[in-house]
Structure formats: structure tokens, C-alpha cells
Amino acid sequence: MKKQVLFLILCLFTFKAFSNDIKKKEIDELLNKAKESHASVNLLQQLESAMKARDLANKYDYDEGKTKAQFWIADALLYVGLFKESFKSIENLQGTKYYDEDPQLQSETHGMKGKCYMYLGLTHQAIQEFHLQLAAATNLESEKQKKFSVFAYGNLSTIFGRTGKIDSLVKYNQLQLETLRGLDEKENALLFIGVYDDMGNFYTKKLDFPKAEYYLKKSLELVERYNVPVYYNTMTYLGNLEQEKENYKEGLVFFDKSLANKKAVGNRNAVRNSYRFLADYYAYYKLGDAKAQEYEFAFSRLNDSLEKENRQVMDMVLARILNSKDKESATKVSKSTTISIIVLVMSVISIVFFTWRVRRNRKIIVQKEEALQETETINKGLVEQIGENKFNNLIELAKNNNPEFLTLFKELYPEFIQALKTYDSNLRSTELEFCAMAFLNFSTKNISEYTYVTIRAVQVRKNRLRKKFDIPSDADFNNWMRELGEKSVL
């Protein structure tokens, strides 16, 4: 009998282990899909796959799956500019056991976190993270150590280039070159090309054309020698070089090759950037109005498509956040109900007990009533305080480019949103957010800073909305929005 029981227990554990292995395989497949989507810049698919992998990994307590899923989620959120949510995913993955045991993941994560800080303009914190990225790389084996050190040096040269610290930029460019010498050229061709491209671009900006040509030709030689499939950066930098030399038509040859390669590898975001650049290039150097209009149209069409995808990513994240909050609220309600039942039962018992000893407990009852009144007074004050803070919360959400900004704005100013939609019922959420920021009297510079776009882009959007709402050219844009809001309340 004992043998039979032991056999059944063994079979049960074997089945459970087999079932877990199947689930781990499913999670790993989702993570591979997220990685492939990252390579093809399909952010929506990357986020969907990574979130599914995370949910399954949490359900089956698969630590490696949870960690890697959070990494790809953070990467997608970083790409669309949701830095706060990206930070949360990074913090979640950094709290796992798998992260503590994988120096390569540590290096990559510090690099990602550094980029978040860099895009937010927090230079000091970005530099710290890139140094941590470099420190983690030193714990890898020789070949990987050099490779991931080059990544860290590249990030450091980028941040110092953005802040105008040329000596530091040159220092880390040289460290990249020195580290590359210890790597196999064929196996790491893309890495070599990336460093040579950066060096060529640096010397182009310094107008040192011989050195720029030297490094960019080295990149081109590697592309041709090893038949490297991705080479659009090299072509772009060669075009930039010709542009600086005032050979504008010769530059177009390289820019066209760059665009063709971006299309071939399927990097639609890079294709969009090329369309924008070429439209301006043809117009600025008067190389053909028809071509300029052709690229302008191509840019608008692709940009709308990519913005739609980015909005879908943001909507997905926002839906997840709201769903998470709903679950938290449901949990709180459930706990509150349980507490209420317990209190009710205790009250009945107390009443019976108090009835038996009325005189003795009369004082206790009075004290309880006073405590209850005091609690109600405190709760009322808290509710009033939360109401007062809503406007401040709204401003903070706007400054952080948080997707919850529009949700709270709609709650506070529903009449204004409704008034806008009387002009155009199909207004996009990005247009509503822009009008909301104008309603709050944010300047063009403020909107540019908080939404991470150029001042020119903000001005272009204002002009488009002026046409859509028929706002006179001599009318102040923000004042018009405020007046619309005041009319909607009356």
C-alpha cells in the first residue's frame, strides 16, 4: 500500500514538473517573439508578447520569464517615451533573483535606465547608469566583456556629445576603438561599423573631412566585405559628409541608398525620419519641388500610421494601469466588506453584552460615539484635501507626459472637451491633450519640453489646429482655448 501511495505521489510531481516545463516553453516562445518584434520595430507586438509572457511567468512563478518580460516591456515603453512606466518595469526586473545572477542583463538594464535619464535631461544620473553598465560588463567573459564595454563606451560618448563635452566624447570614442581591436572583425562587423560611423560623424561635424572620410570608408569596406544587411547609418553619414562639403546632389545618392536600406530591413521609424529629412532637403536646397512634396506626403502618411501604433501602445499601457487599479480597488472593497461584517457581528455581541451591563458600559458607549465622530471628521477633511490637490496632480501629470493626464483632465473639464468635439467629433487623443495643455496656459516652450518634441513641431501643430477650429491668426491660441472653456460652462 505504501509503495502505491509513493508511486502516485511521484507520478503527481512528475506530471506537475512536465506541465511547468510546457508553460516555461510557452513563455520562452513569447519572449522570443518580443525580441523579434523589437528587431523589426513592431512595438505593439513586442509589448503584447512581453505582457502575455509576464502574466504567465507571474502565474507559474517563472523567475527568468518574469525578468526578461519586464526587460522587453521597459524597452517598448522607453521607445514611445513613457519613461515613468519604463522605470517601473526596470525596477521590477531589478528586484528578481535572475537579474542578480546575470551580469549581461545587468549591463543592458543599466544602459536602458541611463537612456531614460538622458531623454529626460537628467545628465548626471544618466552618466552614473552608463558607468554601472560598464562595471557590469567587466563581470562577463572576455569576448562578451569587450563587446558590452563597447556598448557602454558608446553611450558615454553619446551623453558627453549631447552636453558638449568634446574631450570626454573623444576619450570614449578612442576607448571603443581600442576595445574593438581585441574582437573578431567578421563576427562583430556591426559593432565595428557602428564605431567607425560614430567617428566619421564626429569628424564631419568638426569639418575634418579627411578623417571623416577615413572612418566612413572603413565602415563601407566592412559592409561590402561581409555583405552586412544593415548599413543605412553609414550611408546617412556619407550623405552628411557630402552635404557639409556642399556637394548636395552627391549627398542625395547616399541618402537615397540609406532610405532604400531602411525599407529593406523594415525599420519604419527610420524610414519616416528619412522622408522628413528628404522633404526638407529638397526644399531647402531647391532640388525639386515635386520631390519635396512627394516626400512630405510620404512622411505624413507613415507618421500618422506610426502615431496610431504608438497611441495603441499607450492605450494598452493605460488600460493595464487602470485594470490594475480596478483590481486593487476590488481587493480593498472585498477587505472593507469583510471588516464591515466582522464589525457588525461584534456590534451585535456588544449590544447583548452592553444591555446586560448598561450602567457600567454607558461611559464606554459615549467614548465610542465620540471616536466615531472624530473619524468621520478626519475622513471628510481628507476628501476635501484630495479635491484641492486634483489640479496640482493634473499639472504634474502634464509635466511628466503621463498618459493619465487626459483622463484626469476630462474628469475636471468635461464641458471643454465636449465643446472641442462639437468642432470635430473625431479629434485624436493627441490633439485633445495639446488643446488641454493650451487651456492650462502652457507656453510653446513648455509643451515642447513636456512632450519631448521640438518647438517647431509644436508651432506646426498649433497652425494645423488653428485651421481646424478656424481660429483667427491675430487671436492668441491659449486665450481662444480658455474662452472656449468659459463659454462651455455658461
Report pLDDT digits (tens) over 202-241: 888 888 999 999 999 999 999 999 898 888 999 999 999 9
pLDDT of residue 40: 66
Contact 394, 406 (CB under 8 A): no
What are the cell numbers at 275? Answer: 522622408
| pTM of full prediction above 0.85 | no
CA 120 to chain CA centroid, nearest Å: 11
Q: How many CB atoms are closer than 10 A to CB 177?
A: 17
Class of domain 400-490: alpha beta
What are the cell numbers at 256? Answer: 537615397
What are the cell numbers at 268? Answer: 519604419
Range with lowest mean pLDDT among 16-20, 439-443, 478-482: 16-20
- pLDDT value at 274 more than 60: yes
The DSSP output letter for 60 is: T
- Find the mean pLDDT for residues 367-393: 47
Q: For residue 253, give every residue at least 6 positions away whose Cβ sits within 8 Å of its Cβ, in sequence order, or none.
A: 239
- pLDDT value at 355 more than 90: no
pLDDT of residue 323: 60
- Find the mean pLDDT for residues 162-166: 81
Burial 241-271 (b: 16+ CB within 10 A, else e): bbbeeeebeebbebbebbbebbeeeebbebb
What own/partner pairs with CB < 8 Å and gap ≥ 24 does 18-27 have? 20/60, 20/62, 23/56, 23/60, 23/62, 24/60, 24/62, 24/65, 26/56, 27/53, 27/56, 27/57, 27/60, 27/62, 27/65, 27/69
Q: Where are the domains of the chain?
A: 21-101, 400-490
The pLDDT tens digits of the residues spanning 146-158 come to 888 888 988 998 8
- Pick the residue with more confidence: 314 or 186? 186
**What angle, 0 to 180 degrees and rounded to 10, lies between the N-to-C axes of helices 248-265 and 232-244?**
170
CA 187 to chain CA centroid, nearest Å: 31
Torsion of CA 270, 276, 279, 285, to 10 degrees: -90
| CA–CA distance, 123 with 265 (Å, rounded to integer) | 32
| CA–CA distance, 156 with 162 (Å, rounded to integer) | 10
- Find the mean pLDDT for residues 158-179: 84
Q: Can you say whether the dihedral through the CA atoms of 93, 95, 98, 99 is positive or negative?
A: positive
- Find the mean pLDDT for residues 242-271: 87
Q: For residue 395, give every residue at least 6 positions away whose Cβ sits within 8 Å of its Cβ, in sequence order, or none.
A: 440
- What values do phi and psi take at 402, rounded to 5? -85, 130
- pLDDT value at 83 more than 60: yes
Place of cell 475636471: 412
Q: Which of 418, 411, 395, 436 is nearest to 487 (CA)?
A: 418
Q: For residue 393, give every residue at least 6 positions away whose Cβ sits within 8 Å of its Cβ, in sequence order, or none.
A: 408
The pLDDT tens digits of the residues spanning 430-446 come to 889 999 999 988 888 88
